[in-house]
Amino acid sequence: MKALSLFAVFAVARMAILAGREIAWSEWSLAVYLWQDAVVALLFGAVESASRNARWTWALYGIAVVYVAINVPLIRILSTPMTPAMFGAARGALSDSIRHYATLETALTFGLIIGAGALFPVLFRRLPLHFVRIATVVGLTLAATGLIAAPRVETNGFNRNALFTLVSSTLPRIHAQPMEAEWRRSPFDARRSTPLADLRGAASGRNVVVIVLESTGAAYLRTYGAAVDPMPHLTEFASRAVVFEHAYSVYPESIKALVPLLCSRFPAFDTNVERHASIRTPSIAQVLKENRYRTALFHSGRFIYLGMQSMIENRGFDLTEDAGAIGGNVNSSFGVDEPATIARILEWIDGVTADERFFVVYVPIAGHHPYETPQPRPFPEHDEIDRYRNALFFGDAALGVFFEELKKRGLYDRTIFVVFGDHGEAFGQHDGNHGHTMFLYEENVRIPYLVALPGLDAARKRIARVASVIDTAPTILDLLGLPIPAAFQGSSLLDDSERMALFFADYSLPLAGLCDGPWKFIDEVGASHPKLFRLDCDPAERENIASKYPVRTEAYRKILTSWTRAQKELILHKH
């Protein structure tokens, strides 16, 4: 009876997960949403039948119920059960974010599942044997039907069983395959846009500052049309910069976003950051160091988070410092306050002699959940997005100080500034989409991207074409008039040819996507429900028009399938 009880617990958990969701019900829904639950319950039943130790199976049952109880509030918050990748992320650096969700609602949800786990064995202990046989047949039917129907029914992952996902997500979802192609070339339109060739070499001899804004989506900034302005200093800065209106992250998570930034290489699907440390492509820091630049990276967070240390080691930086070395007022478990980091950067710059040039990468944490900031807070905190805006405002104030201090030192007009978001941040614009890591909608991957050459009037333009973070290193070298390594996969944004932006997410659902001019495509690996949007007509991505454009949909799908497989092959075997 324990297997039947476990399935009943799964059913209660499923109802708690789906409560309040926008679900498109059909004749397949029951099987699609319960088939994984049925599979796990049937496997548990097989173990129960084969075991002669009732205490052991009761212990296994209790562990399963507790694990499901932990995952239900997690799924309600983040739209995913726990995966091995998430286990790696849920360490000390995220303890404040975890505590933020220790609410009464979370406790009640947890208690509901634990209570169901205790109640059902009592209710089912006197059921006749023939009822168990019927339940087994029903379970097998659900498992078989759901397995066939699931790839064709859109569930946003809410059909996943926590235990099933824990095991299945350890298996490779993309298989490495050697192939070469120009992945970012559109299969449809060879478009050209506003040329920036006049800037090629225009910044020769300048210092370089790269600022990677944490969790900063383009849609929340005044420069990109937001009604309120959480970053007024950045808005002023953007008024004198090249503004790329449609720029995209490669991966909606900070650490893997460093791969395209530093090495102009795509990260690989289902591959941890430590494996990316073997990339032999020279980093932008190495190239500049060879050209007699002093190089440094400063992070207000902690290098131990998600393997960041392995990604920045031996990349050509003379100095790398994180929260532990910088010190300051600790605002969250994730790191230190931005004024302390800015002060440390300025201290380092002051140590660079007048005849030397410097390259600085600044990676703040302002904007990261749980959006904790000191006073003042200009936005009334009615909900999380207001807390987020206050966090951006706090980080922006530090940027304002940084810019002013560089001006006082006479360095501002002798520097290239490249400022962009590592990824966006979601606040429920699409059902179940919160945070940044799990989906590929505009709120997850569209970012601000600004290039400024103070004192050069030609560098004040708004560029409508698609841009990607992977283009950062080639663009910097092109501005400086330095050769671009052939191993870079990105291209200089000073070129006038348009390229697609490619991106993926693999923390939970295996998603890959691209932006091709106004066309946005998202595909789930192994499923049959692609999403195609026209961003110029539908910027909120509400109408999936994939069925109206089958040729375009299939072409994009083939590109993403080949690209993800080829990139995994490059990282795992060729580096």
In a domain, 310, yes or no: yes
Reply yes or no on whether the pLDDT at 3 is more than 60: yes
Residue 465 sits at the vertex; the CA angle it makes with 464 and 470, to the nearest 5 degrees, is: 125
The CATH number that applies at residue 529 is 3.40.720.10
**What is the reported pLDDT for 575?**
66
| 351 and 474 fall within a common domain | yes
Amino acid symbol at 87: F
Contact 244, 449 (CB under 8 A): yes
Determine the straight-line distance between the first and last CA of the chain, rounded to whole angstroms: 52
In a domain, 422, yes or no: yes
In a domain, 191, yes or no: no
Q: What is the pLDDT of residues 13-46, one digit of tens each?
A: 999 888 887 777 778 888 888 989 999 999 988 8
Give the pLDDT mean for 460-472: 93
Q: Residue 514 — very low, low, confident or very high, per pLDDT cuts 50/70/90?
A: very high
| C-alpha atoms less than 13 angstroms from C-alpha of 168 in its C-beta half-sphere | 16
Q: Lowest-pLDDT range, 272-286, 322-336, 486-500? A: 322-336
Q: Lowest-pLDDT range, 62-66, 69-73, 103-107, 444-448? A: 103-107
In a domain, 186, yes or no: no
Q: Residue 150 — very low, low, confident or very high, per pLDDT cuts 50/70/90?
A: confident
| C-alpha atoms less than 13 angstroms from C-alpha of 152 in its C-beta half-sphere | 10
Using CA atoms, how far apart are residues 68 and 103, in angstroms rounded to an integer?
A: 18
> What are all long-range contacts of 424-428, with beta carbons under 8 Å and residues at least 24 apart?
424/215, 424/216, 424/217, 424/218, 424/219, 424/249, 424/252, 425/215, 425/216, 425/217, 425/220, 425/367, 425/388, 426/217, 427/383, 427/384, 427/385, 427/388
Q: Residues for the chain: how many in total?
A: 575
Residue 290 sits at the vertex; the CA angle it makes with 288 and 292, to the nearest 5 degrees, is: 75
Give the pLDDT mean for 163-191: 84
Residues in Cβ contact with 34 at an 8 Å cutoff, skipping those fewer than 6 apart: 10, 11, 14, 142, 146, 159
Using CA atoms, how far apart are residues 380 and 389, in angstroms rounded to an integer?
A: 10
In a domain, 178, yes or no: no
Question: What's the sign of the alpha-carbon dihedral 310, 212, 210, 341?
Answer: negative
The SS3 of residue 298 is: strand
Using CA atoms, how far apart are residues 554 and 472, in angstroms rounded to an integer?
A: 30
Using CA atoms, how far apart are residues 487 and 464, in angstroms rounded to an integer?
A: 27
Q: Residue 164 — very low, low, confident or very high, per pLDDT cuts 50/70/90?
A: confident
In a domain, 354, yes or no: yes
The SS3 of residue 235 is: helix
| 147 and 243 fall within a common domain | no
Question: What's the sign of the alpha-carbon dihedral 398, 400, 403, 408?
Answer: negative
Reply yes or no on whether the pLDDT at 88 is more than 80: no
In 76-222, beta strands by DSSP E: 207-213
Which residues pair with residue 242 across a beta bridge?
A: 451, 461
Contact 511, 504 (CB under 8 A): yes
| 164 and 201 fall within a common domain | no
**What is the reported pLDDT for 450?**
97
Reply yes or no on whether the pLDDT at 306 is more than 90: no
Find, among 396, 426, 349, the residue nearest to 156 by Cα: 426
Q: What is the pLDDT of the chain when averaged over all its residues? A: 88
| 159 and 238 fall within a common domain | no
Contact 487, 571 (CB under 8 A): no
| 283 and 400 fall within a common domain | yes
Domain total of the chain:
2
| 240 and 161 fall within a common domain | no
| 109 and 229 fall within a common domain | no
In a domain, 559, yes or no: yes
| 232 and 104 fall within a common domain | no
Which residues pair with residue 360 across a beta bridge?
A: 209, 296
Boundary residue ending a domain (168, 187, 215): 168
Contact 530, 557 (CB under 8 A): yes
Q: Residue 412 — very low, low, confident or very high, per pLDDT cuts 50/70/90?
A: very high
**CA-to-CA dists, residue 109 to 160, 387, 476, angstroms:** 18, 25, 50
Boundary residue ending a domain (168, 185, 214): 168
Using CA atoms, how far apart are residues 366 and 338, in angstroms rounded to an integer?
A: 7
Phi/psi for 129 (5° steps) reads -60, -40
| 204 and 162 fall within a common domain | no
Residues in Cβ contact with 236 at an 8 Å cutoff, skipping those fewer than 6 apart: none
Give the pLDDT mean for 507-514: 90
Give the pLDDT mean for 180-198: 83
In a domain, 187, yes or no: no
Using CA atoms, how far apart are residues 120 and 125, in angstroms rounded to an integer?
A: 8
Using CA atoms, how far apart are residues 557 and 206, in angstroms rounded to an integer?
A: 42
3-class secondary structure per residue, 179-232: CCCCCCCCCCCCCECCCCHHHCCCCCCCEEEEEEECCCCHHHCHHHCCCCCCCH
Q: Residue 335 — very low, low, confident or very high, per pLDDT cuts 50/70/90?
A: low
Using CA atoms, how far apart are residues 448 and 462, in angstroms rounded to an integer?
A: 12
| 476 and 527 fall within a common domain | yes
| 144 and 23 fall within a common domain | yes
Q: Residue 86 — very low, low, confident or very high, per pLDDT cuts 50/70/90?
A: low
Reply yes or no on whether the pLDDT at 466 is more than 90: yes
Boundary residue ending a domain (128, 149, 168): 168
| 81 and 141 fall within a common domain | yes
For residue 164, how many other CB atoms are within 10 A of its CB?
18
Using CA atoms, how far apart are residues 96 and 90, in angstroms rounded to an integer?
A: 10
Q: Lowest-pLDDT range, 41-45, 230-234, 375-379? A: 375-379
Using CA atoms, how far apart are residues 67 and 280, in angstroms rounded to an integer?
A: 41
Contact 531, 282 (CB under 8 A): no
Range of the domain at 320: 197-453+466-574
**What is the reported pLDDT for 146?**
84
| pTM of the model as a whole | 0.90
Using CA atoms, how far apart are residues 22 and 429, in angstroms rounded to an integer?
A: 13
Give the pLDDT mean for 74-89: 74
The SS3 of residue 443 is: helix
DSSP annotation of 316 reads S
